C-alpha cells in the first residue's frame, strides 16, 4: 500500500471533529494526523507535520477559516475541503472560501450534525481524496461532488438518447461541465467574456443551496448575466444559467428558442446535477449548434455526454491537464474520443468567442 493521505481536521465543534476523524480513519487510504479546534491550534500541529489535506470549518473563534485559508494560500498552499453549514450565510462565506482557494465543499446542517455526516461519509471521503490529487499550482495561480455507494446510473435514467436538433439556427449554445476546482476556473472563463456572448448552460458539482450564492457572486463580477437556473428559463445570448444544486438541468427547444428544464431524479454518475444529463440534452436538442466544454473535476461525469455531443455535430473542447486543478473529467472524455481539442484555461474564453 502506498503512502496514506494525511488529513488535519479543523473545527470548533468537538462532535464534528470526532465524527469527521472517525469517518476518515475508517478509509485505508487516509490517516488523520491531528484535530484542532481553531486555526491557531492547527498551525501548532503543522509546525510538526504538514498535512496533505485540511478539512476546515469557516466559522470559528480566535481566527476565522477564511483568514486562515488566505494565509495558507499566500505562504504554503495546501488542499482545503471546506465544511460549511447549510444556511444562506454559510453559503455566502463558503463562496469566499472557494474564491480564496478551497478545493471543494462538504455541507453540515445546524442540527443533527453527527447523523448527517455519517450519512454523507462517502461524500466526505471522496472530497478528501479529490483534494489530495489537486494541482495546487493551478489553485494558487487562480486564487458537490456528491457520491454514494449506490449503483452508478447513466443519463438514461433521466433522458433517453436520440437527436431532435435543428440542422442550423442562428442561436449558439455553450454547455460547460466542471467539478473539483471548477469554481475558480468558471470565474476565470466567465469574467473574460464580453456581454455579447452565446447563451450558456453550466453544471458545476455543488451542494444544494450553494449554487445560488455561487451564481450571485459570478454575476457581480461578470459582464454576462449569471443566474441560478429556474424551470423554463430561456437560454439567450449574454446569459449563463447555472444548474441548481440537487436538481438536474436539461436543455430543451421550442421552435428556434432554447430553454431549460430543472427537474428532480436519481443521481447520475452519483451526481445531481449531472454533466452527462446536461450534455445529452444539448446533443439531442442543439446538436451542431452547440459547443461543449469539459473542465477540471474528479471522476468521469460528462465524458459520455460530451461524446454524444460530438457525435451530434457539436464542437467539443477540454481543459488541458496543466491548467486543471484535478485532471479527471477531461482525461476520461479524451479516453472516450469525446474531445476534439485540449486547450489551457486562459484560452477557453477565446474558443467561446470564436464559436459565438
Distance of CA 316 to the CA centre of its chain: 19
Helices (H), the chain: 14-25, 39-48, 65-75, 88-100, 113-119, 121-132, 136-142, 182-190, 211-221, 275-285, 303-311, 329-335, 348-355
Same domain for 116 and 177, yes or no, is: no
Q: Does the active-site annotation cover 320?
A: no
- Asked whether residue 148 is assigned to any structural domain, the reply reads no
Average pLDDT of the segment spanning 55-83: 89
- Asked whether residue 284 is assigned to any structural domain, the reply reads yes
pLDDT greater than 50 at residue 334: yes
Same domain for 187 and 321, yes or no, is: yes
CATH at 43 = 3.40.50.2300
- Asked whether residue 150 is assigned to any structural domain, the reply reads no
The active-site residue, picked from 64, 205, 233, 320, is: 205
Same domain for 283 and 338, yes or no, is: yes
Same domain for 220 and 318, yes or no, is: yes
Q: CA-CA distance, 125 to 210, in Å (whole number)?
A: 20
The pTM score is 0.86
Q: Does the active-site annotation cover 104?
A: no
Q: CA-CA distance, 307 to 302, in Å (whole number)?
A: 9
Same domain for 26 and 108, yes or no, is: yes
Same domain for 104 and 171, yes or no, is: no
Q: CA-CA distance, 29 to 51, in Å (whole number)?
A: 14
Domain count, the chain: 2
- Phi/psi at 61 (5° precision): -75, 170
pLDDT digit string (tens) for 19-54? 899 999 999 999 999 999 999 999 999 999 999 999
pLDDT digit string (tens) for 224-245? 999 999 999 999 999 999 999 9
CATH at 292 = 3.40.50.180
- Asked whether residue 146 is assigned to any structural domain, the reply reads no
pLDDT digit string (tens) for 71-112? 999 999 999 999 877 666 667 888 888 888 999 988 876 667
Same domain for 74 and 184, yes or no, is: no
Same domain for 203 and 125, yes or no, is: no
Q: Does the active-site annotation cover 264?
A: no
Same domain for 59 and 172, yes or no, is: no
Same domain for 115 and 214, yes or no, is: no
Domain ranges, residue 125: 5-132
- Asked whether residue 30 is assigned to any structural domain, the reply reads yes
- Asked whether residue 138 is assigned to any structural domain, the reply reads no
The active-site residue, picked from 84, 104, 121, 179, is: 179
- Asked whether residue 143 is assigned to any structural domain, the reply reads no
Amino acid at each position: 500500500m502506498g503512502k496514506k493521505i494525511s488529513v488535519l481536521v479543523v473545527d470548533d465543534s468537538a462532535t464534528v471533529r470526532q465524527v469527521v476523524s472517525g469517518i476518515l480513519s475508517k478509509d485505508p487510504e487516509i490517516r488523520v494526523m491531528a484535530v484542532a479546534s481553531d486555526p491557531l491550534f492547527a498551525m501548532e500541529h503543522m509546525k510538526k507535520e504538514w498535512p496533505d489535506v485540511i478539512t476546515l470549518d469557516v466559522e470559528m473563534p480566535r481566527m476565522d477559516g477564511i483568514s486562515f485559508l488566505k494565509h495558507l494560500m499566500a505562504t504554503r498552499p495546501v488542499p482545503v475541503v471546506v465544511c460549511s453549514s447549510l444556511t444562506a450565510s454559510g453559503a455566502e462565506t463558503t463562496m469566499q472560501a472557494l474564491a480564496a482557494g478551497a478545493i471543494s465543499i462538504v455541507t453540515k446542517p445546524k442540527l443533527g450534525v453527527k447523523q448527517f455526516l455519517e450519512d454523507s461519509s462517502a461524500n466526505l471521503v471522496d472530497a478528501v481524496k479529490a483534494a489530495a490529487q489537486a494541482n495546487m499550482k493551478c489553485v494558487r495561480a487562480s486564487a458537490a461532488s456528491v457520491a454514494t455507494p449506490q449503483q452508478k446510473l447513466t443519463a438514461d435514467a433521466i433522458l433517453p438518447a436520440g437527436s431532435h436538433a435543428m440542422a442550423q439556427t442562428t442561436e449558439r449554445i455553450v454547455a460547460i461541465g466542471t467539478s473539483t476546482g471548477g469554481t475558480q476556473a468558471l470565474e476565470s472563463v466567465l469574467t473574460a467574456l464580453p456581454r455579447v456572448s452565446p447563451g450558456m448552460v453550466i453544471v458545476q458539482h455543488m451542494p444544494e443551496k450553494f449554487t445560488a450564492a455561487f451564481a450571485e457572486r459570478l454575476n457581480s463580477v461578470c459582464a454576462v448575466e449569471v443566474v441560478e437556473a429556474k424551470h423554463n428559463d430561456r437560454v439567450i445570448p449574454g446569459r449563463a444559467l447555472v444548474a441548481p444544486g440537487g436538481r438536474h438541468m436539461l436543455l430543451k427547444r421550442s421552435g428556434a428558442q432554447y430553454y431549460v428544464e430543472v427537474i428532480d431524479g436519481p443521481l447520475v454518475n452519483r451526481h445531481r446535477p449531472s454533466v452527462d444529463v446536461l450534455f445529452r440534452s444539448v446533443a439531442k436538442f442543439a446538436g451542431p449548434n452547440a459547443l461543449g466544454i469539459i473542465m477540471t473535476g474528479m471522476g468521469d461525469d460528462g465524458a459520455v455526454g460530451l461524446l454524444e455531443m460530438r457525435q451530434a455535430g457539436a464542437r467539443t473542447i477540454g481543459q488541458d491537464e496543466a491548467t486543471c486543478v484535478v485532471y479527471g473529467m477531461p482525461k476520461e472524455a479524451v479516453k472516450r474520443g469525446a474531445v476534439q481539442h485540449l486547450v489551457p484555461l486562459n484560452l477557453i474564453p477565446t474558443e467561446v468567442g470564436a464559436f459565438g
